[in-house]
Structure 1
Amino acid sequence: MGMFGYRFMQLVGVLPTLLLLLVALVLAGTARRRLPGRARPLLLAGATVLLLMELVSVVWLLALPDLVRSRVGSGGLRQFELLNLTVSAVQWIGYPIGLGMIVAAVFAGRAAPPAPVGGWGGWPPPATDPGTAPAAADPTATPWGGSDRPPVAPQQVTRPD
């Protein structure tokens, strides 16, 4: 059960991701009208790259025990290290590229939302210019009726002691 159990668990662990990427490819391939412009090709390419990276990962994980046993036992540890570095480098480059294509597909082909009609939030603009102060008795009043100064302190009353 040793190597079979290891390989089985590796396949079970990666199976949901493989299925998700396959479903993404099928949906992107059949949703021509729902995906505008360049979004569809970017989604197809990104899902394909991620699917290939997952397949490389599965093949590497399944072959890893045999490679370690054959290379380390025969003194070819350096060859194993180079092969491991190569597979890792391919994955380091492939995963960000695939994910970047999927993120680009989200934003590709989207038009900017239209400007709101009738001013901001649907409210009409003010009738007067807010930059002019209303005619008020208080010369320190702001255009909105308040004042920038603190309130006047009450008169001090002196008490005879």
Structure 2
Amino acid sequence: MANITFKNNPVTLKGNEVKVGDSAPDFTVLANDLSPVTLADSKGTVRLISVVPSIDTGVCDAQTRRFNEEASKLGNVQVLTISVDLPFAQKRWCAANGLENVKTLSDHRDLSFGEAYGVAIQELRLLARAVFVVDGNDKVVYVEYVSEATNHPDYEAALEAAKSAQ
């Protein structure tokens, strides 16, 4: 498993670490209207999955905004932001900030995504910061587990992987 810290304190990740070349694990999360969303719902498109601990914090806000800005330039790529924030909070945050190019999804109900991708922080019931790119055939083509949860991901590498996967 990836070694992750949260505010420089080691944390335990639950689930299975995902690697480039793996078949992307399926998951069930909730959309802002509480409807279930799975990986299969977006099959055939490239997915850039941006994972954040909580959308209401500075780095998570910046990460979501950056991928929102880039999403319109990516072509046939869906940008999914997943956190354990409640769907209502995600919807309110997106509306207040005018974000329309990313789809926010909540893993609050059962940590299905967090455990499938090895980003569920056992001690905090949050998700570790990470970025995954999954191609249209559900193969993982890019993985970054950010070693310190309060740091930014490598935006350029993730965006390049999403462009190359098209």
Same fold (TM over 0.5): no
Higher percent of residues as helix: 1
Q: Over alpha carbons, which structure has the higher Rg?
A: 1
Higher percent of residues as strand: 2
- TM-score, scaled to structure 2: 0.25
Higher relative contact order (CA 8 A, sep 6+): 2
